[in-house]
Chain A
Amino acid sequence: MSDNKTVNHMIELTKTNRITFGVIIVLVILLLGFLFLKPVKYAFNTTLDKEIADLKVADYQISPQVLAQALLKKDASMVCVDVRSPFEFAKGHLPEAQNIYKVNLFSDDQIEFFKDLKKGNKTAVLYGGSASEANVPFMILKQMGIDNVKYLTVGYEVMKSGNWAEIAANTTQYNDETPIVDFAKFISDAQIQNQPTGTATDNAPKPEISKPKTVVKPAAPAAGGGDEGC
């Protein structure tokens, strides 16, 4: 092997022309970057952790009862914002409501409007045709750090009558997340019912609706029928 090749002393170029040249190119690119830097107007300003923690916080929901009471008292700290289209808005809306169509949420005026409300310690109550319609602009505004927004847990239809006293007195709970039927119990009841022998009826948790059933068909025929359906 060519050992004699290695006796040469290694030479490193110490010239700095090329590196200076390279650095200047990079500096020019950075300068261009600054020139073309467009400030992003709208960005999420809250942390994901906070948003996840807020998922289950009920403070951001407004029930129709609370809103009705506020409307009765003409509470100035709550400003209703209608996120439906101007057309829907023209057909009917809550008193003193501001129409901000959800599609047009991002314009300086609208964002400024919410920021002004925040300065004035006012709360914007978003509502739409349904709770989930109001939820979309609500979540976006909230994640942008405008946290003085709440959403109505029902659609406009419920509030349509304009009879605030009656709505305020209504005891109906409008929580989307409450399981409305105890399905587990329901299914187990159904299985008990479907058992042909009498053992099931002796069972302790007797279903409330256990009217004596005349015919208890097993589930199989129903499944069979389903095949034709599909």
Chain B
Amino acid sequence: MKINPDKQHVYWNPYFAGFLMGIILLLTFYLTGRGLGASGAAKAIVTQTVHTVAPTHTENNTYYAEQFKGGKTPISNWLVFEVIGIVIGAFISGSLSGRAFFRVQHSPKITSRRRLWFALLGGALFGFGAQFAKGCTSGAALSGMAVLSLGGFIAMLSIFGGAYLFAYFFRKLWI
């Protein structure tokens, strides 16, 4: 695909994006009765992998075992399919505006290697924290807020609060 440098860094008006996202969320609730999410897919992948490697282990651990309740297979979870959809959708949008190619994005002040190490660390923390809250920014905070759920508001406040709390210490990574 030909990359159009003019278009590459042009993003939608955030209010428009938010408005459309709200409509999609609304549709999701209307059609399925549940919200959008992402971290649940990671949980399903982990559980399925661990189950394939050590089936008895998953039965003993209540956290894994919960996901097999009622004869379910975690990998055929709704969220897994939704995440596959997100990858496709992002690819479509990215290729239309010439953003889809392999690279590492980072602040000019740090190296790619450093950026990747911190991405791994951040991912691990996010994965770990998302299990406590039973959802991530999209699953817990956004979908929770849409139905005015108390948990959703607490999640939103604590995620952003936590991030502002630690933002100062990691400023070198970004600006």
Contact = CB atoms under 8 A, between A and B. Distances in A.
A19 B19 contact: yes
B19 A23 contact: yes
Contacts, number: 49
A5 B3 CA distance: 11
Given A22-B19, A22-B20, A2 B103 contact: yes
Interface in B1-49: 5, 8-16, 19-20, 23
Interface in B72-103: 101-103
Given A19-B16, A22-B19, A22-B20, A5 B103 contact: yes
A103 interface: no
Interface string A20-58: 001100100000000000000000000000000000000
A90 B28 CA distance: 55
Nearest to B13: A13
B8 A5 contact: yes
A22 B19 CA distance: 8
A19 B10 CA distance: 16
Q: Is the interface of B mostly helix, strand, loop or mixed?
A: mixed
A171 interface: no
Given A2-B101, A19-B19, A8 B13 contact: no
Interface of A: 1-3, 5-16, 18-19, 22-23, 26
Given A13-B10, A16-B13, A22-B23, 12 more contacts: A1-B102, A5-B103, A6-B105, A8-B8, A9-B9, A11-B9, A12-B11, A12-B13, A13-B11, A13-B12, A13-B16, A15-B13
* 3 nearest A-B residue pairs (beta carbon): A19-B16, A13-B13, A8-B9
30 contacts: A1-B102, A1-B104, A1-B112, A2-B101, A5-B103, A6-B108, A7-B108, A8-B9, A10-B9, A10-B11, A11-B10, A12-B10, A12-B13, A13-B10, A13-B11, A13-B13, A13-B16, A14-B13, A15-B13, A16-B13, A16-B15, A16-B16, A18-B16, A19-B16, A19-B19, A22-B16, A22-B19, A22-B20, A22-B23, A26-B23
